Amino acid sequence: MSSLARYRQCLLNTYGRYIRLERSLSSSAVRRQQTVAATGEKSPDVEDVIIPKRISRSPTAVLDALASTVRRDFYSPPYVYIDDPETIPECLVDRKAYVLAKVSGQRAARYVMKRWPKNFDVNPIDPALEIPDIFKALTGPLAAADTEEGLRERIDLRLVTESFVSYQKNKQAGNDLSDDVVHNLLDLLCVYNSKDEECLLEEERLVTKTAASGSMDKIRNTWKDSGPAEEVFQDMKDPTLRACCSLIKGRAKYYQVDRAYELFRELEEKGMKPDIQTYNAIIIARSLMIHKAENKAEAIKELFQKIKGQGLSPTVETFNNAFVTMTYCSMADNYNAAVFVSSLLSEMYACGLEPTLATWYYIMRIVYRDNDCTSYALHEIMDHLEGKDLEAHHPDDLEFFSTAMVKVCVNLKDLELAYRIDNLLNYRNNYKLIGNHYLEGLYYNFYFKILCTFEQIDTIMEHYEKTVPYWFVPSFNSVHDLIEALELNEGYQYLPKIWTDMFSFRYNKQVKIMTPLCALLAKRKQNKSLQTQYRELVAGYYDIVKYDVMSLEERGDLDKLDSIRTVNAEELGYMCQVCLNSEDPQLARELFSFFLNYKQKIQGQYPEKTLESLVDQFIKEKNFQMCMCNLNDPFDADRQEALGLIYGLGYKSCGSYHGEDQITDGPDA
Amino acid sequence: MAITPGTLKILALRQLVRPGPLYSWSQSFSTSLIHEKNIRAGQVKGTANKNKPLTYEQSQYPHLMGVTKSWNSWNTSNLDGEMAFAPHTTAEDTFIRKFMLGAWHDLFLTEVIIKRRQNMVIVAGFVKRVPQTRMLYFLKGFTEELLSHFLKRPVTVEIQTAGLRDLIHKYV
């Protein structure tokens, strides 16, 4: 009893009288209504109270309602990361590394638990409460292996090899095992192909690239032909229908298609009636035995007839598997799969089944097989899906959004459709279906690709600021697209933001990104405030470059310059140009002499435009020493010639003001 | 007769001295200040040079608990009727603290805060900023998994990072 309840009872025992008195004072309104009810009269101003009918809700209805109010927050990191500025990953590598670090911690803990299980036997919570199964699985003590109970426990815990060992021990001991246990064992062996598979932890799935079931590289016969599953099956004196079905499903799952179909034929000849899941497995197996697309379609139709003949009703998986088989057809078949697909789809609706996201994914793969195909299928799919709460039923459902975005970008090049897909993704909780980090990256990379191609720079940056960096870190190609879009739309005001982002994504050592970015900074002279910002960016970057190169030089490892810091002459030139644009000749001169010092180690060509501006600047300053340095460099002959002209002009114009002795002071003059 | 808190108290006290079942209700309420006889317990001794750094939590004296600082363990075991689990909770908290001391060696800058909500245990605190952030993630995964299976209930580690000197409140 809680303290409050006791307190109340204590009061009631002794002073109930007073409390009753208080109560009677406040209940006057209630009493009046009671008298009305007692006399049976009804006052005209009192309306009938209609008590609404009770709605039966699930025990988690309140939680569901609360969860539905949660929206995707673009401005905070995903929950998997520790919410602290230090620990939120900013670059692609960290995004993966942090999750994997966490997972490896979990694995280490599991190792400890496996190694010293006794320490985890304690049950500190109320002994009356049962320990949740999830905590039992790792540590619970098991019954002896050579008993039926021991086998049953091992099967329940999905310990595949241990179950089989226990089965063999039981056999040696001469125990009679019940049919149910043996069937369960066979199921287990078939599902896992008789081996313990280290399954991925929940968070590991986030960063691990997994192949969709439609992809060809997954198809390999890995079934153990004389493995434990087959052995258990052979031991059965009279294999039942359930055992046969398990084995067929197992063989088909691991692509031992011939033997799966063989057993299926045997069943048919005996006149047995396999369940619908077996038919689902056979659809895949049968189609892999046939090479020609037309024959595949025929075989599928035949199987559907058989399902109908058995009085079974096909499930969504039946149709999905049929779609998967059509994705296996090679291009060379020249078979118009779309016709067959549409007939399958209408059949699906006729059966009263709703296509899932995986269905649409397979259809996209079939229809947009060719990169030139510009079918309107995706428009129709979007018409169908728009404004719906989507749910995941199958791992392939998660492939939908990324594939749709790729197809929009590669095949259709339709910005409007890309927006529609993005709206669908951000509708309520649909974003949960975007899949793991790999698929998310694929989706956003292509989304940005199409945005950068067709959209104004302001809109691009709006989307960029929304998703970067918490939900998406642009890949190399995306950054290239973005820089191109910036150049095309003259989005110079966004350059400082992009520049700092490149540093946090750790792209600052990538010449392929930094050079075009520097070129963009140097492209033209901006207004004063922007140009000052540019100058600061360049000065900061120069400090980093200088520090890296100097520390290398101190260690005498200057030859490793390329591997550690990939700085490029072009990049230095553009930086110099930025300084000239900002009217900071001091820094420009420093940058140029830095280049001159290390020019043997630095690759690339110094941009001519910068050289010209430098010459102009030096002439303006009457600094002929630097001017000569500029010219005496072992540049290309053509460029020397061109520069010589400029120099000549400059010399002519300035020579009269300056004594010729200054020219002879030059180091190489 | 109107019931005011004053009369309630007198009446209830009268109830206590009566023969009959006694309720341990006096534990639930206390209206007077604690009698501070030993004022030196839990107070950090100063140094001559005044160069011993203290965090905010350490610098507040124990009698200010609930006034200017709060508790390190948040649970319901001090409520009436919850006594059955109080020793378990205390022992577990000690275990968790010792575990954190060893697993997160030399990382925690403050005391480990242990909060309990329903069957959930939240272990919180400030840790040092380390060059390898991956280490923090590894330890988080390790601690959560191991403690969850040890205590048989979900455990979450909620950490914040801070610089070495960020949490120093004063020197004594």
Q: How far apart are the first and last CA of chain B?
A: 56
The pLDDT-based confidence of B8 (bands split at 50, 70, 90) is low
Q: Distance (Å, rounded) from C-alpha B3 to C-alpha A20?
A: 12
Residue with token string 């002929």: A624
Q: Distance (Å, rounded) from C-alpha A101 to C-alpha A90?
A: 16
Q: Which two tokens stand for residue B124?
A: 């919180």
- Is residue A152 a contact partner of residue A170, using CB atoms and an 8 Å limit? no
Q: Give me the residue from A18, A22, A110 closest to B145, CB to CB.
A: A110
> pLDDT tens across A114-171, in order?
888 888 877 766 666 677 666 665 655 677 888 888 898 888 888 888 899 999 999 9
Nearest CA in chain A to B149: A135
To probe the interface with B, which of A87, A100, A112, A125 has the most B CB atoms within 10 Å? A87
- Mean local confidence (pLDDT), A266-294: 89
The pLDDT-based confidence of A665 (bands split at 50, 70, 90) is very low
- Is residue B126 a contact partner of residue B160, using CB atoms and an 8 Å limit? yes
Q: By residue range, what is the domain housing residue B76? A: 71-171
Instruction: Answer yes or no: is B129 within a domain.
Output: yes
Q: Which two tokens stand for residue A375?
A: 């079918």
Q: Give me the residue from B8, B12, B145 closest to A106, CB to CB.
A: B145
Local structure of residue B117 (DSSP, 8 states): E
Angle between helices B5-17 and A3-26 in degrees, nearest 10: 130
Ranges of each domain in chain A? 355-490
Q: Identify which has the larger pLDDT, A568 or A180.
A: A180
- Mean local confidence (pLDDT), B2-22: 56
Contact B25 A10 (CB under 8 A): yes
Torsion over CA: A70, A74, A77, A83 (sign): negative
**How would you class A666 by CB atoms within 10 Å of its CB: exposed for 0-12, middle for 13-18, buried for 19 or more?**
middle
Residue A28 has what pLDDT?
Answer: 41
Name the average pLDDT for chain B: 84
Q: What are phi and psi of A136, to 5 degrees?
A: -70, -40
ω before A469 within 30° of 0 (cis)? yes
List B159's β-bridge partners, or say none: B125
Contact A101 B138 (CB under 8 A): yes
The pLDDT-based confidence of A417 (bands split at 50, 70, 90) is very high
- Mean local confidence (pLDDT), A608-612: 82
Q: Identify which has the larger pLDDT, A103 or A508.
A: A103
Residue A372 has what pLDDT?
Answer: 78
Q: Which two tokens stand for residue A605?
A: 């060509």
3-state secondary structure of B110: coil
Helix (H) or strand (E) holding B94: helix B86-103
Q: Distance (Å, rounded) from C-alpha B142 to C-alpha B117?
A: 21
Q: From the centroid of its chain, how far is CA A71? A: 18
Residue A620 has what pLDDT?
Answer: 79
Contact A101 B129 (CB under 8 A): no
Residue A627 has what pLDDT?
Answer: 63
- Is residue A113 a contact partner of residue B146, using CB atoms and an 8 Å limit? yes
Residue A508 has what pLDDT?
Answer: 85
> pLDDT tens across A458-517, in order?
999 999 999 988 888 999 999 999 999 999 999 999 999 999 999 999 888 888 899 999
Residue B32 has what pLDDT?
Answer: 72
Which residues from chain A sit within 8 angstroms of residue B83, using beta carbons?
Answer: none
Q: Give me the residue from B11, B79, B142 closest to A14, CB to CB.
A: B11
Residue A367 has what pLDDT?
Answer: 87
To probe the interface with A, which of B82, B93, B142, B161 has the most A CB atoms within 10 Å? B142
Whether this prediction's pTM lies above 0.90 is answered by: no
Q: Which two tokens stand for residue A639?
A: 């460029």
User: From residue A53, how far is each of A50, A439, A631, A641, A669 by CA, in Å?
Assistant: 9, 46, 93, 95, 102
Q: Which is nearest to A501 in space by CA: A476, A542, A522, A473?
A: A473
Q: What is the DSSP annotation of A563-610?
A: HH---BHHHHHHHHHHHHHTT-HHHHHHHHHHHHHHTTT-BS---HHH
Q: Min CA distance, B161 vs chain A (Å)?
A: 7
Residue A551 has what pLDDT?
Answer: 87
List B121's β-bridge partners, or say none: B116, B155
- CB contact set of A491 (below 8 Å; sequence gap of 6+): A457, A458, A460, A461, A485
- Mean local confidence (pLDDT), B68-86: 88
List B73's β-bridge partners, or say none: B114
Residue with token string 């996209």: A364
Contact A3 B137 (CB under 8 A): no
Q: Min CA distance, A122 vs chain B (Å)?
A: 7
CATH, residue B141: 3.30.300.20
Contact A84 B80 (CB under 8 A): no
- Is residue B142 a contact partner of residue A106, using CB atoms and an 8 Å limit? yes
Quick one: what percent of chain B has pLDDT higher than 70? 80
> pLDDT tens across A244-273, in order?
999 999 999 999 999 999 999 999 898 888
- Is residue A151 a contact partner of residue A172, using CB atoms and an 8 Å limit? no
Q: Min CA distance, B130 vs chain A (Å)?
A: 9
Contact B137 A1 (CB under 8 A): no
Q: Min CA distance, A64 vs chain B (Å)?
A: 19
Angle between helices A92-115 and A437-454 in degrees, nearest 10: 170
Is 80 exceeded by the pLDDT of residue A324? yes
- CB contact set of A371 (below 8 Å; sequence gap of 6+): A410, A411
Most confident of A603-607, B34-38, B50-54: B50-54
Amino acid code (one letter) for A297: A
- Is residue A576 a contact partner of residue A591, using CB atoms and an 8 Å limit? yes
How many folded domains does chain B comprise? Answer: 1
User: From residue B38, how far is each of A118, A469, B47, B59, B71 by CA, in Å?
Assistant: 43, 55, 21, 17, 20
